[in-house]
């Protein structure tokens, strides 16, 4: 693998590769551009030709040629490796051995299962009639490779065994399982009596399944594959492989809950739609989307569970600096129902979606007649959302909307927002994460921050040493000073974040917020 990486780096120039995605400007011996990972008016994204690396002073994005392609294409390292190898005209040395690896065996088993489920569906009138009744076209069935798992305990297992696929591979892939009570019992099929929806990685390879019960009394309604070496439900979004390019083109993603919501939305031409597929949206889901576009529209079901999920997802997305809108879905319908009823109506709902804060406020006003109750709900639910926002401009806009509703001046509302305790904001962003996942994320985040601190320290040294080079380029002295201040403040903030993660130290969150405000102020100086 290492030989492949080095060979690609030697053959491809980073500036040429990045220049194929965004417009670059010469800056001395290096290049700069408007960052593709966040919205900005002036170029903060810098490429070092000598180091073959990039860094954005606006959002902190950094990496090498592989990192850049991963983020732009929404793929993993292997996907970026394949893309760049093809561009460089290099045959990957490990490609021929892939089928013999564990991943290769799992992919083979999952593909066999997909084809088996597809065949079952094509021969089952009841299941086809169900999908037809929900508005799913024959073309969509083929496009998304929908299938059927018969209500049989070992049909898939026996089919796969007949093709030479052993039980240990089927168990690792999540296609079969053993009883929780007796791990020595004979394994049986995971999916039974369900329409199955293949979940794919960024390259379009099947890595898992989500099954929707055909019978109303079959629980749970949605059943997903367990986590496997190929699949982590907290990272994978249904339909992402098909929606990625459209998200990039339209510069926003539509988030729905169910598989049928997604299939019908794509069928209606809204091909920038992704779904959680019966699980909660996590930070990892949102960060994957943010790499392509920071703008999202939440189109969850209009029931209590959907409303709660919208609020939690909004809080998490706002804390990541994303722009969030809410689709106004009413009448007890879900997106699939709306599309079936009127495709244009669905598209219109998305076009007229409002900012999350405005949408929540409007819902409060419609549901509550008492001004005091509205004011209390705003204070308890809306203001913490505003406090979690990263952008000062977004905060000011939200404060203005709230002030007009509750009859207080913008200054008074802003003061109320400032008084919200950091731990309240922190609790909002933790709502989607729990248990082992939370622990895993925090360990990963600690390592990430340690690396980030080292990188920023190196950048500070590099900027000091190369100040003359910057002065000779198009970077002004004022701009250089702002960059130096930003890197210093980011270093301080990351050190505090690291302390919070390692030691607790919730009292440090206020300092982190203040440093964030200073960083925002310096970044505005660059605009």
pLDDT attached to residue 439: 37
Measured CA to CA in angstroms, residue 142 lies from 118, 209, 500 at distances of 9, 16, 49
CATH code at position 54: 3.90.580.10
In a domain, 322, yes or no: yes
Residues 396 and 291 grouped into a single domain = yes
Cα gap 332→334, rounded to integer Å? 7
For the beta sheet containing 53-56, the strands, ordered from the edge strand earlier in sequence to the opposite edge, are 25-27, 30-33, 45-48, 53-56, 62-63
pLDDT attached to residue 42: 80
Measured CA to CA in angstroms, residue 424 lies from 192, 218, 361, 386, 417 at distances of 43, 39, 20, 12, 11
Write down the residue that tokens 């709306």 correspond to.
338
Write down the residue that tokens 């990963």 correspond to.
444
The continuous run of DSSP H or E covering 297 comes out as strand 295-298
Residues 508 and 374 grouped into a single domain = no
Cα gap 429→313, rounded to integer Å? 9
Domain boundary residue among 428, 445, 479? Answer: 428
Contacts 24+ apart (CB under 8 A), 332-337: 332/302, 332/303, 333/302, 334/257, 334/258, 334/261, 334/301, 334/302, 335/256, 335/261, 335/264, 335/265, 335/299, 336/134, 336/135, 336/258, 336/260, 336/261, 336/263, 336/264, 336/265
Query: Which pairing describes strands 30-33 and 45-48: parallel, antiparallel, or unpaired?
Result: antiparallel
Residues 262 and 371 grouped into a single domain = yes
Contact between 375 and 412 under an 8 Å Cβ cutoff? The reply is: no
Residues 17 and 128 grouped into a single domain = no
pLDDT attached to residue 488: 79
CA dihedral 161, 165, 167, 170 (to 10 degrees): -120
Cα gap 316→431, rounded to integer Å? 8
Domain boundary residue among 79, 96, 113? Answer: 96
- Residues recorded for the chain: 527
Cα gap 378→373, rounded to integer Å? 9
Residues 313 and 253 grouped into a single domain = yes
- The three-point CA angle 480-486-491 to 5° equals 130
In a domain, 140, yes or no: yes
Name, in order, each residue with C-beta under 8 angstroms of 420's C-beta and a sequence gap of 6 or more: 383, 384, 387
In a domain, 235, yes or no: no
Contact between 417 and 395 under an 8 Å Cβ cutoff? The reply is: yes
Cα gap 520→457, rounded to integer Å? 20
Cα gap 443→128, rounded to integer Å? 46
Q: 285, 280, 349, 292: which is closest to 317 by C-alpha?
A: 285
Q: Domain of 301?
A: 240-428
Crossing angle of helices 283-290 and 304-319, in 10° steps, is 60
pLDDT attached to residue 99: 45
pLDDT attached to residue 506: 54
Residues 288 and 417 grouped into a single domain = yes
Q: 251, 520, 485, 513: which is closest to 393 by C-alpha?
A: 520
In a domain, 256, yes or no: yes
Residues 386 and 262 grouped into a single domain = yes
Cα gap 107→95, rounded to integer Å? 14
In a domain, 229, yes or no: no
In a domain, 230, yes or no: no
CATH code at position 355: 3.40.1360.10
Domain boundary residue among 384, 402, 428? Answer: 428
| Claim: this prediction has a pTM higher than 0.75 | no
Contact between 54 and 61 under an 8 Å Cβ cutoff? The reply is: yes
Name, in order, each residue with C-beta under 8 angstroms of 349's C-beta and a sequence gap of 6 or more: 299, 327, 328, 329, 338
CATH code at position 162: 3.90.980.10
Contact between 214 and 182 under an 8 Å Cβ cutoff? The reply is: no
In a domain, 512, yes or no: yes
Residues 325 and 421 grouped into a single domain = yes
Write down the residue that tokens 């360990």 correspond to.
443
Tens-level pLDDT at each residue, the chain (527 residues)? 556 788 888 888 888 889 888 888 888 778 999 888 877 778 888 998 777 889 888 878 888 999 888 888 777 788 888 888 888 888 876 544 444 578 889 999 999 999 999 999 999 999 999 999 999 999 999 999 999 999 999 999 999 999 999 999 999 999 999 887 666 678 999 999 999 999 998 778 999 999 999 988 888 888 999 999 999 888 899 999 999 889 988 989 999 999 999 999 999 999 999 998 766 788 889 988 887 888 999 999 888 888 888 998 999 999 888 999 999 998 768 899 999 999 999 999 999 999 999 899 888 888 876 778 888 888 888 999 998 888 777 888 889 888 887 888 889 989 998 888 877 877 776 644 333 333 333 444 454 455 455 545 545 555 555 455 444 444 556 666 777 787 778 778 777 777 666 565 556 666 777 777 787 777 666 65
Q: Hey, is 255 helix, strand or coil?
A: strand
Query: Which pairing describes strands 295-298 and 253-256: parallel, antiparallel, or unpaired?
Result: parallel
Residues 268 and 400 grouped into a single domain = yes
Could you list the beta-strand ranges (E) of 154-205.
Answer: 176-177, 188-189, 194-200
Residues 411 and 440 grouped into a single domain = no
pLDDT attached to residue 476: 59
Q: Which stretches of 272-329 are DSSP H helices?
A: 283-290, 304-319
Contact between 58 and 40 under an 8 Å Cβ cutoff? The reply is: yes
In a domain, 232, yes or no: no
Residues 209 and 119 grouped into a single domain = yes
Count how many domains the chain has.
4
**Both tokens of residue 475?**
């970077």
pLDDT attached to residue 425: 74
Residues 378 and 280 grouped into a single domain = yes
């Amino acid at each position: 693998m290492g030989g492949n990486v080095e060979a690609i780096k030697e053959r491809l120039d980073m500036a040429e590769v990045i220049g194929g995605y965004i417009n670059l400007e010469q800056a001395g011996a290096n290049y700069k551009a408007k960052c593709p990972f966040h919205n900005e008016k002036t170029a903060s994204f810098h490429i070092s030709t000598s180091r073959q690396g990039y860094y954005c002073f606006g959002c902190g994005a950094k990496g090498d040629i592989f990192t850049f392609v991963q983020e732009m294409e929404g793929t993993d390292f292997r996907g970026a490796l394949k893309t760049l190898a093809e561009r460089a005209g290099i045959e990957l040395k490990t490609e021929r051995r892939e089928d013999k690896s564990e991943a290769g065996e799992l992919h083979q088993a999952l593909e066999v299962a997909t084809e088996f489920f597809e065949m079952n569906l094509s021969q089952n009138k009841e299941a086809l009639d169900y999908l037809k009744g929900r508005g799913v076209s024959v073309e969509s069935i083929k496009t998304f490779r929908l299938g059927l798992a018969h209500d049989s305990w070992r049909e898939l297992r026996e089919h796969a065994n007949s093709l030479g696929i052993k039980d240990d591979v089927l168990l690792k892939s999540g296609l079969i399982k053993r009883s929780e009570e007796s791990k020595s019992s004979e394994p049986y099929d995971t999916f039974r009596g369900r329409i199955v929806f293949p979940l794919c990685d960024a390259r379009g390879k099947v890595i898992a399944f989500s099954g929707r019960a055909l019978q109303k009394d079959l629980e749970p309604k949605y059943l997903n594959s367990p986590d496997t070496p190929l699949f982590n439900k907290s990272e994978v979004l249904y339909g992402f492989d098909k929606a990625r390019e459209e998200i990039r083109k339209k510069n926003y993603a539509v988030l729905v809950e169910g598989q049928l919501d997604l299939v019908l939305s794509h069928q209606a031409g809204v091909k920038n739609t992704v779904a959680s597929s019966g699980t909660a949206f996590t930070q990892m889901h949102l960060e994957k989307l943010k790499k392509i576009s920071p703008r999202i529209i939440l189109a969850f079901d209009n029931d209590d569970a959907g409303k709660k999920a919208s609020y939690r997802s909004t809080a998490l997305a706002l804390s990541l600096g994303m722009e969030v809108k809410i689709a106004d879905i009413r009448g007890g319908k879900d997106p699939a129902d709306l599309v079936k009823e009127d495709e244009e109506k669905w598209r219109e709902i998305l076009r007229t979606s409002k900012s999350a804060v405005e949408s929540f406020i409007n819902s409060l006003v419609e549901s509550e007649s008492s001004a005091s109750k509205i004011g209390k709900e705003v204070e308890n639910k809306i203001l913490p959302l505003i406090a979690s926002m990263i952008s000062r401009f977004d905060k000011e806009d939200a404060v203005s909307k709230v002030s007009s509703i509750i009859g207080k001046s913008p200054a008074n509302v802003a003061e109320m927002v400032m008084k919200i305790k950091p731990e309240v904001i922190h609790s909002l962003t933790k709502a989607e994460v729990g248990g082992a996942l939370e622990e895993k994320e925090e360990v990963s985040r600690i390592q990430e921050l340690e690396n980030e601190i080292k990188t920023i320290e190196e950048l500070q040294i590099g900027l000091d040493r190369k100040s003359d080079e910057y002065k000779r380029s198009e970077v002004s002295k004022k701009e250089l000073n702002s960059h130096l201040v930003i890197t210093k403040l980011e270093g301080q903030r990351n050190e505090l974040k690291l302390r919070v993660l390692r030691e607790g130290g919730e009292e440090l969150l206020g300092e982190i917020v203040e440093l964030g405000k200073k960083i925002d102020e310096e970044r505005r100086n660059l605009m």
